[in-house]
Structure 1
Amino acid sequence: MLAMYVASKPQLARVPDVGNVQDQTFSVEKALATKPDVAILADWQYKALGADLARLESAGIPVVVIDYNAQTLERHLASTRVLGEVTGETARAQRIAADYRQVVDTITQRVAKAKRPQPRVYIELGDKGPAEYSYTYGKNMWGAMVQLAGGNNVAAPFVESWGAIHPEQLMASKPEVILIAGYENVSSPTAMQIGQAIPAGNVQQRLKGFTQRAGWAGLPAVKNGRVHAVYHGATRSIMDAALLQYLAKTLYPDLFKDLDPTATYLGFYQRYLPIRPQGTFMLGINGSDKP
């Protein structure tokens, strides 16, 4: 989506490239050369940079840490409010935080009131395609979202943060709902591809490929058609509200008939951002974005 943002706000093309913490190309020298007023880092970036942070701070650059990776209500709200303070947009940040709290409260309160057995859920990043099991999630990211939505994350006993689960462990867990996450840009022709400008038919075709894994035909989620594709690019941000709604709706369809997760996702862009995405961001194996 970067090209869309640049087309809308051409000044973004002039933002200097200082590297990436994840692939260890981040350059403190380049960052210092931009003479920033503040450095905003994700919690994992702050931890990864370690001693390099002292060079920023010694240059008089305050370091602000936010954390959307934990995917918890508390940290999402705190991070959003901090960004509001830093940017001078406190009222805007308060509105966004309040909207997010309402989404979470609606889900948690309905699930608590219903007192249903927790559906067993498995979520995998489908970047490697059906031939190889990729990351699933324990206590953070999708794992934390499953907990918020009232599900039983079958990977939690085997994965602390993220990592692959052994196929035999998954088979024994008998998930009732399966979600495969993906991005627009993938290297494998069978990887889960979903997001901006990706047609629903392509998403559905790739999703069906995962259900053909050895042994999956016997899983409750596959037998009952409760297999879904979700956009991984919306996680680790306040926009995961829409995916949280979708997750809740896949787990408890009758409790959340009134929710429209796709409308929530696109509505956020309409209210707060300069671009209008078009594509597929959540989809069931039946071809519908409404579980």
Structure 2
Amino acid sequence: MAQSATILDMGFSDKGNVDLESVIARQPDLMIAQLRARPALMESGVIDKLSALHVPVLFVDYEIAPAKDTAPSIDLLGKVLNRESQAKAFTDYYRQQLQTIRQKTAAITPKANVFVEALAGNSDACCFTHGHSGWGGLVEAVGANNIGSQLLPGASGFVSLEKIISMKPDAWIMTGSKRGNSQVLPLGYAVKPEAVKAQAQTLLARPGVSQIPAVQEKRAYGVYHHFYNHPWNIVGMEYLAKDIYPQAFGDLNPDETYHYIVRHFTDLPDQPFVFSWQQSE
């Protein structure tokens, strides 16, 4: 953990801004970046400059096509970092858990219609969501229809509450994480369930939200936001599967999956957390 304090902050943004001089001064053997940043890095000339210095750039993806790209990305990292056995142990587990979900959802008809309000409460406007990537990709991976994918031309954006109500979602899922903005679901570490429940009720009390069919049927849920762009997105998919198809996944325990990953594949402390919320509880 102490070693992490020495890791260089590259000052990177999605617009391709990188403190390239500081990066080059460290004489890196390899640069690892998210695939979504590739166009910006190409346009800003970062890729060409690193190529001229014989510094390869490796792209990984946990967001654009999360269910398809996450395990191969980890396998690739394992190969280039000489940690192939550790990477394989994780991706074998990842693929096994994902296959279990897909086997069950393949037989489910009709498919549920789901709306994910990403970082619910983070904006005065409702409702921000993801298209086919991010949370949308995770919803689709567990065999459901993501309403945002049907309505957004890009990766993310806002959908009017009236439009959502007219599409009658079967499940309404709000993502959040503990942060300075007290309006967002405070999910994460060192969180009290009572605080999450109180904020969830506040979010459901926003004008118009109570008219959403899923909310009226007590099918509103909360999930930790940062699973949308993380190698541990399998945990996020398990929460989604359990929320969207509760009868099919009554025995699924995403909390235990998270504990298992931390204990078996990392040296991180296994600390208490609250990563989900259910309206029916």
TM-score by length of structure 2 reads 0.92
2:174 corresponds in structure 1 to: 180
SS at match of 2:76: helix
Task: State the distance in 2 between where 1:126 and 1:236 align.
Answer: 13
1:13 corresponds in structure 2 to: 5
Residue 24 (structure 1) shift? 5.8
Cα deviation, 1:131-189, whole Å, max 9, x if unaligned, reads 422520111111111111111212222113111111211111111211111122233x2
Residue 130 (structure 1) shift? 7.1
Q: Is the 8 A contact 2:127 2:161 kept in 1?
A: no
TM-score by length of structure 1 reads 0.89
Alignment of 1:1-291 (within 5 A): 9-22=1-14, 26-50=18-42, 51-113=45-107, 115-126=108-119, 128-129=121-122, 131-159=124-152, 160-187=154-181, 189-275=182-268, 276-287=270-281
Structure 2, gaps ≥5 residues long = none
Task: State the distance in 2 between where 1:38 and 1:18 align.
Answer: 14
1:215 partner letter:
G
Task: State the distance in 2 between where 1:177 and 1:206 align.
Answer: 18
1:17 partner letter:
D
Residue 75 (structure 1) shift? 1.1
Identity of aligned residues (%): 25
Task: State the distance in 2 between where 1:185 and 1:78 align.
Answer: 31
Task: State the distance in 2 between where 1:286 and 1:253 align.
Answer: 12
SS at match of 1:235: helix
Cα deviation, 1:212-248, whole Å, max 9, x if unaligned, reads 1222223221122111111112221221111101101
Task: State the distance in 2 between where 1:267 and 1:18 align.
Answer: 32
Q: Is the 8 A contact 1:231 1:282 kept in 2?
A: yes
What is the total number of aligned residue pairs between the two structures? 277
Cα deviation, 1:252-273, whole Å, max 9, x if unaligned, reads 1111122100111122111122
Task: State the distance in 1 between where 2:65 and 2:180 align.
Answer: 24
User: Judging changes above 3 Å, is the alpha-carbon distance between structure 1 residues 110 and 230 closer, same or farther for their aligned structure 2 residues?
Assistant: same
Q: Is the 8 A contact 1:176 1:220 kept in 2?
A: yes
2:30 partner letter:
V
User: Judging changes above 3 Å, is the alpha-carbon distance between structure 1 residues 18 and 218 closer, same or farther for their aligned structure 2 residues?
Assistant: closer
Residue 285 (structure 1) shift? 2.4
Q: Is the 8 A contact 2:15 2:40 kept in 1?
A: no
Post-superposition, which runs of at least 4 consecutive aligned residues in structure 1 deviate over 3 A? 22-25, 127-131
Cα deviation, 1:37-88, whole Å, max 9, x if unaligned, reads 1100111122211221111111111111111112433311210111101111
Structure 1, gaps ≥5 residues long = 1-8
Task: State the distance in 1 between where 2:189 and 2:16 align.
Answer: 27
User: Judging changes above 3 Å, is the alpha-carbon distance between structure 1 residues 130 and 15 closer, same or farther for their aligned structure 2 residues?
Assistant: closer
Structure 1 window deviating more from structure 2 (237-246 vs 271-280): it is 271-280
Q: Is the 8 A contact 1:228 1:285 kept in 2?
A: yes
Q: Is the 8 A contact 1:73 1:101 kept in 2?
A: no
1:4 corresponds in structure 2 to: none
Residue 30 (structure 1) shift? 0.9
Cα deviation, 1:191-220, whole Å, max 9, x if unaligned, reads 222112121111111111221122222322
Q: Is the 8 A contact 2:61 2:70 kept in 1?
A: yes
Q: Is the 8 A contact 2:119 2:225 kept in 1?
A: no
